[in-house]
Structure 1
Amino acid sequence: MSDNIPPSVEVVKIWSPKEVIIFLESKKDELFLYDEDINIIKKNRVAGSDFLEFSQEDLERWRMPGGPAKRIMNLVNKIKGKSKYHPKQISRSSTPEEENDSTKRRKLEERYAKTVKMGKEASSPSTGAVSSVFSNNQKLYPTIFMGRPFDRIGPPIVLFHNCFGQFLKDISDDNLSIDCEMYFDAQKLMATASQFFTNELSRNLAMEREFAKIIGEPFKPFIYGNDNRADGTLSTNIQDQIAYRLILEVKKELGGTKAEPTLQAGLYYLGYWSEEQSVKVRARCCCPSYIMAVAGPWVCVFGGIYIDMVVIEPLTDFISLIPKSRDDNHVYRIARFLQALKLAMGRLNNFYQNLKLGEPPNDQHFFPYTNTYRDQTSATIKFTYLYPLTDDFYKTLWKAATNSNLIVIKFTQRYNMKAHNICALLGLAPKLLHCSDNEQGFKMIVMDYIDGVPLTKEKISTLDNKVCRSIFNNVKEAIKALHDQELVFADLRRPNILVVEEQNQCKGVLVDFSWCGTHDRDTYPLAMNTEIPWPHDARPGAHLKKIHDNYWLDVLKEDLKLTREIGKVYNGSGWTLIQIEMIYINAYIFRRAAGGSYKSIPKRLANTKCTIVTCPLQQSFETRGIRKSRGMIKDDKCHYLDKRHPSPRMTVYSSWHKNVFLWMTEDDGKQEEGL
């Protein structure tokens, strides 16, 4: 851990008196402490919880000189968050909207403490793994992030411990060395798994026996809480502590019980690791474990980590152990899986055996294990993670510190360095410090930390029109620079725009170039969130297009309240049609005068050729229902208005609250003719 950054309160609380002394010894030079100063603490057998309750009067009463007593108290206050850490180059004041570093670090610790509490107080896994019960618990407090439901996804576990990445390499490695005996064991496992058992216990004993022989060590039963126990565990003893390497849950057949086996195994992971017998291990690492669910002749392996919450991620699909006639490839795949599992157990055992429980705990186990990068001179720069930059656990974005600077660490599977550097040269993106492939299949991106805030609706409400116009022009300039190089930013939503104050002026900068790519050649990610109102042809795997950036510029312009009316294009029969200034789309608002009829929408306008896109302006109206009129106003989907045209033409949105109809058209940036 960096000398500048104190351990967290949660970590210090569990220190023994010996660990307190080790910590003070490490601070001896920094705090100018003598041996006799530290011996006073040692003589009074101060544990971590006592250390946090120190007062200067206590130390002086123990006859410690005033100078060391004051410096130790400053250290205690720093740990408790009463003083803030900021590198010398950075200075800022805390505001309600922008939480300071101490608050965000404390938030991380509180989430961890609550996860531990939930793990200790949870109902039995056999009950909690019933899908309806698990679903309700995930809504109340999502302690386990395992993709159930879809929005309960944590960061990739391969970033937190290299054992998972190595396991994934092994099970896909055609050149993996496999023991000859493993092929025999694989077939024996298949023969056992494919049998029918009269009850769950008999299958459990049979499968446990086969896996124990393959891995080379017996499974042990461990009980925690109110007589809770998994079907089997492989563990490592470290002094008086227990580290769990594998947790096994077996069901007689798929669907044989109400409890879902993968959920139940995940709950066992939470329960085991939340107990006091693992507290010291938990304070020094992310508690990597493998979780194996068996249901009938099917097996699936997950990986689990315990950070500020529990993250569980599938490492394999459900693997069929059903024999196939004369299929050597099937036997080979199962043998390779078993060999990879055996190697994984050995590596994880070595990791826990070498874990130093005598050293002071630190809070870096909350974060990815990679903590160095090479700068442009190839010098190795070490950094310390501070906290996640977002409460969205799915995002792999952290604030960190070197000895002299604040930086941002991001892990992503793709990134466009060229686009980032183009915007950085214009001062419209942070300086990019490093971009390289990580051995776990992710690129590690390092950039300068910019003292800004996301462009949220709350932030926009505090900005005047001049500032909004400046921010929009900054973003527009960055997009133009990218388009001039045939590059598309692609994900120009407000979370990827920061508001930065420089020389008493606010400007907008872009901060995420993960999706950026070449126009009409590169594609959108396959795992993009389809619930977001993207441009109408922006789909998973679809080509990136410049016009999509223009679409988001229109959305941004509307969010910043910078749109303006550019003229009336129709006026009559109690209606006024007003065109709104946009970039990508033509937006029109129908305003109905008093006494005007809903049936008086001009047919000439209804027959106009136009294409429907997602309607950003519609979101700013309080739409309470869609009024139907003469079959022309139907719903918020594409609707055929004119049989002469083979494609959807127009959607009209009705807002009873504001008495406004909104009509969106798209024409690749050209003005619609004939209105």
Structure 2
Amino acid sequence: MVHFLVVTEDVLQSLDQLGTIQNQVLRGREQRVELIRTTVPRPSNDASTSAGVRTVVVDNADRFHAGRPAGNYGPPACLFNRALGLLDYRLRPLDDDISEPAPPILMRMVHQLMTTAARSYSSEDDRGTYGIVPHAINADDPPFVVVEVKNEAGPEGDASLQAGLSYTHIVTAPQFKALRRQSNYPVILCGFTGNLLEISVAIYTDGMYCDLLFSERLHLGFHSAKNVLRLSRALTATRKAIADLTAFYAQLKAVPGAPPQASIAHLFPSPLKIPSYTGFVPSLTFTHRLTRSGEAVLLAASEGERRSGIYLATMPWRSSNIDEETTAPSSPRDTHTDSVEVVVKFTERYHPEAHRILAAEHLAPALHVCVPVCGDLFMVVMERVHGEMAWEAADRQELLPYRIYEDIKRAIALLHSHDLVFGDLRTPNIMVVPGGSGLDDGPRGMLVDFDWVGTHGRGRYPASLDEGLPDWATSSIQRDGIMDKAHDVAMLGQFKEQCHQA
């Protein structure tokens, strides 16, 4: 007698032989999908009032990530898909001279759109009669352009927020389960509220992440020619992104079903260098996210983990542009795969020269490369050094070895000799690295964050600096203030108190 057992894909995925880490992550991600689909409000019915908006941004803050509250965001969506990255890149220089002009026919249509948008309408449907169609998605399968229209700003709701909610309910729909296993479902969102046009991009990893790229009142006025040209350029960039996404989804369709082996590559960035950069770009395979304490995770489970722009990756050793002698003893090459594990950080500002100066003296991890990528960010690829952050010892109420202070003091002196100010000499940026096996090879200190470094007397601190923190109490550091070597000296004195005395 022959017995046939019919099982679903879900049952197969639960079997031990398919219980790889990748499959476990994808199953966990799918388990959240139904929760998100049933708890995140739908756009028009539940998010058109103040109470409804609060339900979205407060009650669902761990599922819907669009920048509200202030800490509810992740790395920019444009890092996760190249079409979105290029859209971000093309939308930035709209007021500069661009070699490729917008087509005249598009400029005529844009002029008409701006005139139409400036009128007042009795309802959204009435506005649609004149060409601004409410609640539209593109006809492609899957849809990857979502448009929401609100007749006027006020009690009817926020069009961009509702576009994000519409996307959330599209991406979590049961018919797109296979697509979720293959991609992070990148989309373009357009919100029309009165004569305000907003263009955003979004992806889905452990939840929906959305970033606003363009926001403009469609106003002609005395600068009508300039305003028409600016919007024409923005819509030209958007049309190119739609073409890029069309090609992206066509390529996904060409692959029958899910990959033979579960892949989680789409949960990680796929950064694109800016077109003008001609330097070295390593081949990276992202493997994990890194938390503030250096813990490797696959899916973010807290606000702090979601906001982190730091990852673990591997790259072929032949792609490295540093010598083995430059690396720390705690970061050996994987001789079995001829690859090297690296830390990849995405940040809006960085000082690679300061990093290299200290790395040459083993006072910082070796720097492989610092690449400008789409999203107005730098991708910093550095050696992975094993150790712990200085703040972890403080949490245990332990003093650090005096040698750590000596190393950090030497690092600051070296930067000052090049007329550079480190700027952010707090314990989260100081690493304690195990030494070698010799009698004099105890723990060593390293600096690991060069985001704030600037030239003495000319560089400025970030405008977002929180001067209320006790860390700045004795250093006179201020928002957007001029950087001074004396600030480093004052903070070095504070750090000395956290170390044993000589």
| Cα 1:236/1:555, change in 2 over 3 Å | farther
Inter-partner Cα distance in structure 2 for 1:131 and 1:255: 10
Correspondence 1:43-192 to 2 at 5 A: 49-54=10-15, 73=17, 76=19, 110=28, 113-114=31-32, 117-126=35-44, 127-128=46-47, 130-135=49-54, 137-140=56-59, 141-171=61-91, 172=94, 174-192=98-116
Inter-partner Cα distance in structure 2 for 1:502 and 1:129: 59
Q: Report what 2:483 is aligned to.
A: 544
Q: Report what 2:372 is aligned to.
A: 437
Asked whether the 8 Å contact 1:120–1:275 carries over to 2, the reply is: no
2:197 pairs with 295, 299, 305, which one?
299
Correspondence 1:314-325 to 2 at 5 A: 314-317=212-215, 319-324=216-221
2:247 pairs with 344, 350, 353, which one?
350
Correspondence 1:30-41 to 2 at 5 A: none
Inter-partner Cα distance in structure 2 for 1:379 and 1:334: 35
1:566-620 superposed Cα distances (whole Å, 9 cap, x missing partner): xxxxxxxxxxxxxxxxxxxxxxxxxxxxxxxxxxxxxxxxxxxxxxxxxxxxxxx
| Cα 1:371/1:452, change in 2 over 3 Å | farther
Letter of the structure 2 residue corresponding to residue 387 of structure 1: H
Asked whether the 8 Å contact 2:164–2:189 carries over to 1, the reply is: yes
| Cα 1:519/1:326, change in 2 over 3 Å | closer
- The alignment's TM-score, normalised by the length of structure 1, stands at 0.60
Inter-partner Cα distance in structure 2 for 1:439 and 1:265: 24
Asked whether the 8 Å contact 1:528–1:540 carries over to 2, the reply is: yes
Correspondence 1:403-422 to 2 at 5 A: 403=337, 404-422=339-357
Inter-partner Cα distance in structure 2 for 1:268 and 1:322: 27
1:285 and 2:183 aligned = yes
Structure 1 outlier segments of 4+, above 6 Å: 43-47
1:460 pairs with 394, 405, 415, which one?
394
Inter-partner Cα distance in structure 2 for 1:326 and 1:52: 60
| Cα 1:52/1:296, change in 2 over 3 Å | closer
Q: Report what 2:268 is aligned to.
A: 367
Q: Report what 1:396 is aligned to.
A: 309
Letter of the structure 2 residue corresponding to residue 338 of structure 1: L
Inter-partner Cα distance in structure 2 for 1:305 and 1:278: 14
Correspondence 1:238-637 to 2 at 5 A: 242=142, 244-257=143-156, 259-317=157-215, 319-324=216-221, 327-355=224-252, 356-358=254-256, 359-360=258-259, 361-370=262-271, 381-390=282-291, 391-402=304-315, 403=337, 404-457=339-392, 459-462=393-396, 464-465=398-399, 467-503=400-436, 505-530=442-467, 532-533=469-470, 534=472, 537-558=476-497, 560=498
Q: Rg bigger for which structure? A: 1
| Cα 1:164/1:383, change in 2 over 3 Å | closer
| Cα 1:207/1:388, change in 2 over 3 Å | farther
Q: Report what 2:327 is aligned to.
A: none
1:320-363 superposed Cα distances (whole Å, 9 cap, x missing partner): 22332583222222322333322222222122112244251521
Using the TM superposition, name which of 429-438 and 293-302 deviates more: 429-438
Structure 1: stretches of 5+ with no match in the other structure: 1-42, 56-72, 82-105, 210-229, 373-377, 565-675
| Cα 1:553/1:531, change in 2 over 3 Å | same
| Cα 1:479/1:379, change in 2 over 3 Å | closer
1:420-439 superposed Cα distances (whole Å, 9 cap, x missing partner): 12222332211111223335
Letter of the structure 2 residue corresponding to residue 486 of structure 1: D
| Cα 1:370/1:183, change in 2 over 3 Å | closer
Inter-partner Cα distance in structure 2 for 1:331 and 1:138: 34
Q: Report what 1:627 is aligned to.
A: none
Inter-partner Cα distance in structure 2 for 1:552 and 1:146: 35
The alignment covers a number of residue pairs equal to: 444
Asked whether the 8 Å contact 2:422–2:453 carries over to 1, the reply is: yes
Asked whether the 8 Å contact 1:208–1:232 carries over to 2, the reply is: no
Inter-partner Cα distance in structure 2 for 1:305 and 1:500: 37
Using the TM superposition, name which of 300-309 and 469-478 deviates more: 469-478
C-alpha deviation, 1:151, in angstroms: 1.6
Inter-partner Cα distance in structure 2 for 1:283 and 1:157: 18
| Cα 1:326/1:261, change in 2 over 3 Å | closer
Letter of the structure 1 residue corresponding to residue 449 of structure 2: D
Inter-partner Cα distance in structure 2 for 1:190 and 1:501: 63
Letter of the structure 1 residue corresponding to residue 251 of structure 2: N
Structure 2: stretches of 5+ with no match in the other structure: 274-278, 292-303, 316-336
| Cα 1:295/1:521, change in 2 over 3 Å | same
| Cα 1:513/1:479, change in 2 over 3 Å | same
| Cα 1:236/1:540, change in 2 over 3 Å | farther
| Cα 1:110/1:506, change in 2 over 3 Å | farther
